[in-house]
Structure 1
Amino acid sequence: MIFLVDHNIEGHALLLAGRLTNQGRLDLLPIRFALLEDVGLPVNSSDRVVWRFAQANQMLLLTANRRMKGKDSLEEVLQEGNTSTSLPVVTVGDAKRILTDSNYRYLCLNRLLETVLYLDNYLGTRRVFIP
């Protein structure tokens, strides 16, 4: 499973990927983190463009974005476009804690892994908040 990383949490995703690698979990589950630039999207792409790209390419969008205002806000896009087969957006509850709290990082990783392992249970749910 590929997580498309929103530009506002690139460093956070790097820490999560490092922890997954150190724990040997990437040997068990094929998880990869891709930055917007890795997939050819400009960092200033609208939430609408990023969400549609993630859906079209079967990627889980990883973000800390909770914006609810504006026609291209992520919440508006989810309300308009989400279906029963849409992949959820994985939303970090407290991005700063990923950087500073190893226990919180561990909880986030467990929730990420749970989401990947049981992805069918999350289809159409719009968001999965981690941890």
Structure 2
Amino acid sequence: MTFLVDYNLDGFALIFLGILAKGGWLEFAPVQFVTFRDAGLAMDSSDRTVWRYAQEHQMLILTANRNMKGDDSLEHVMREENTENSLPVLTISTLDRLSETEYRERCAERLIEIAVDLDQYRGVGRLFIP
């Protein structure tokens, strides 16, 4: 499974990957974290652009700050374009808590749980983690 990591979480992608590797999770579900830079997306890409890119490339968006303001807000885009086959957007519930080891581990484990059972989460729109 590939996660498109929002620019505000770039530094945490490697941490999550390390947690998953240490826990042996990668043996069950290969995971890749792709940054906006890796994907060729500008940091100021609209939520609509990010959503469409992720859906087109079968990526889960991992974010902490996409909002509900405006016609191109992530929430608005999901309401307009989400289908029963759309991949969910994963939102870190409390960004400030990522400084806590236990919270980061819970987030990483939730990511892998979702990746393993991805079909049951298609079409849900947004999932808050952990």
Instruction: Provide the TM-score with structure 1 as the length reference.
Output: 0.94
Distance 1:8 1:102 in 2: 18
Partner residue of 1:125?
Answer: 124
Structure 2 runs not aligned, ≥5 long: none
Off by >3 Å, runs of 4+ in structure 1: none
Shift of 1:29: 1.5
Number of aligned positions between the proteins: 130
Contact 1:9–1:64, Cα closer than 8 Å, also in 2 = yes
Distance 2:113 2:23 in 1: 16
Contact 1:12–1:95, Cα closer than 8 Å, also in 2 = no
Instruction: Provide the TM-score with structure 2 as the length reference.
Output: 0.94
Structure 1 runs not aligned, ≥5 long: none
Q: What CA RMSD, in Å, does the superposition of the two structures yield over aligned residues?
A: 1.1
Distance 1:29 1:15 in 2: 17
Distance 2:38 2:117 in 1: 26
What does residue range 8-27 of structure 1 map to in structure 2 within 5 Å? 8-27=8-27
What does residue range 1-131 of structure 1 map to in structure 2 within 5 Å? 1-98=1-98, 100-131=99-130
- Residue by residue over 1:87-127, the C-alpha shift from the partner in whole angstroms, topping out at 9 and shown as x without a partner, is 000111011211x2111111111211110111111000001
- Taking structure 1 as reference, are residues 52 and 32 closer, same or farther at Cα in structure 2, changes over 3 Å only? same
